[in-house]
A = this chain, B = another copy of it.
């Protein structure tokens, strides 16, 4: 029997809500975070808000102004590119590990995942597409059996989400993205690691190019 977990604290809930607001684009880069205002809106005292902001500051989603309070961090194109550069090394590596360690029901998981992805593309629901894109990659990290890779990418993903939202909202088709996911899985299931790694590398590079072009526009 599982132990009963205590429910999330107000501080944690506040953190999650703020993080999501930032990553979904609801709070724009540069926007000031006023503790009183947030506390009032969430119907809590300033204490959990202050605590949540400390965590956000430590993970780089907000930054000190040097003056009063914090603002949502800017999405710098350089930072974005550096994350994709990191991914271009890590994700093919994860594919290699996944090939060695993937569970027996990997094919089944993959089919399910891809199906949900294509449904999202059909539905034109942008935020669902972003979430499923992450879920796809996290599935691979899971197969790779390396928690350090998963944690690293989880943090970076939130930074990417902020940029992706901008891009996808501008109507860039995520159809090609899921075609690439299809091919990655196909190669992996055929145990053609070299090809799977290469498809992944290209997938990342294409996503980077598409996004960077749009980011530098605005």
Contact = CB atoms under 8 A, between A and B. Distances in A.
Interface stretch (A35-43, A81-89, A126-134): A81-89
24 contacts: A3-B66, A6-B64, A11-B54, A51-B51, A51-B54, A54-B54, A54-B55, A55-B55, A58-B58, A59-B59, A79-B148, A82-B145, A82-B146, A82-B147, A82-B148, A83-B148, A85-B97, A85-B146, A86-B149, A86-B152, A89-B90, A89-B93, A148-B156, A152-B152
A30 interface: no
A69 to B, nearest CB: 12
Interface in A123-176: 145-149, 151-152, 156
A66 B148 contact: no
A131 B110 CA distance: 43
Interface residues of A, number: 34
Contacts of A60: 151
Nearest to A96: B89
A176 B106 CA distance: 42
A83 B150 CA distance: 11
Contacts of A83: 148
A177 interface: no
A48 to B, nearest CB: 9
Contacts of A190: none
A108 interface: no
Contacts of A105: none
Identify the interface centre among A47, A54, A156: most chain B CB within 10 Å of its CB.
Answer: A54
Interface string A19-47: 00000000000000000000000000001
A112 interface: no
A68 to B, nearest CB: 10
